[in-house]
Amino acid sequence: MKTVLLINASPRGEQSVSRGLSQHFVEGLKAKEGPLTLVERDLTTTPLPFLDQDLITAYYTPEDKRSDGQRQALAVSDRLVDELLAADFVVLAAPVWNFGVPASVKAWMELVARVGRTFRYSADGPQGLIPSKPVTVIKSSGGVFSEGPSKAWDFYEGYVRHFLGFLGLTDVTVIRAEGLSLPGQSESRLASARQQIAEALQAPVMA
């Protein structure tokens, strides 16, 4: 059975657009692919630690030389990396906050970027170690960042694509629910996002 890793980053619960769309996407994925194992990682109900000196030191200490304290410090990171490696499909749903990703998503990124596990350094530069798998990013925003004058202010999408590609994940689809705060446009904007999901599900999804 295929495994889907669903990562949600909005703290708004049932009011969250990105959460609602992520559930809509996963239900569509189940209808298309059949039974799936769903692993849910909620970055707001189970907050992640930020990097500190102990964790950074543990990252760069060879596994056979780590202390018990360093292994304990790495436990959350190890679990997140295991989830990412085991998944056949990844869904990351997160709003745009102050032109970029929420801090909770940045914390997740810093905990899954592990030299020797998810990337490595070589003579040709860094290389991603995660085998290719599809990733769908569901991005919600009050303004419009995909075009127009605010496009230059979008530090979300390019950053997320670059980070995922750094780990080897280059098969990335972005679903944009944008312009949600524009007067009288929220329903049409949501309908557009659902249409994007329908179109994404029409293509081959999982090998």
Structure tokens at 42: 């909620």
Residue 33's alpha-carbon distances to 25, 133, 206, 207, in angstroms, are 12, 15, 8, 10
- Does some domain include residue 207? no
Residue 48's alpha-carbon distances to 8, 101, 108, 155, in angstroms, are 13, 15, 7, 22
pLDDT at 67 over 80: yes
pLDDT tier, 152 (very low <50, low <70, confident <90, very high otherwise): very high
User: CATH number for the domain including 141?
Assistant: 3.40.50.360
pLDDT tier, 30 (very low <50, low <70, confident <90, very high otherwise): very high
- Does some domain include residue 32? yes
pLDDT of residue 206: 76
pLDDT digits (tens, 9 = 90+) for 31-46: 999 999 999 999 999 9
pLDDT of residue 73: 87
pLDDT of residue 204: 79
pLDDT at 207 over 80: no
Specify whether the CB–CB gap between 5 and 89 falls below 8 A.
Answer: yes
Range of the domain at 53: 3-202
Q: How do beta strands 89-95 and 135-140 pair?
A: parallel
The count of structural domains within the chain is 1
- Token pair 């990171």 is at which residue? 77
Angle between the N-to-C axes of helices 17-33 and 186-202, in degrees from 0 to 180, rounded to the nearest 10: 30
**What's the sign of the alpha-carbon dihedral 78, 6, 136, 206?**
positive
pLDDT digits (tens, 9 = 90+) for 180-199: 999 999 999 999 999 999 99
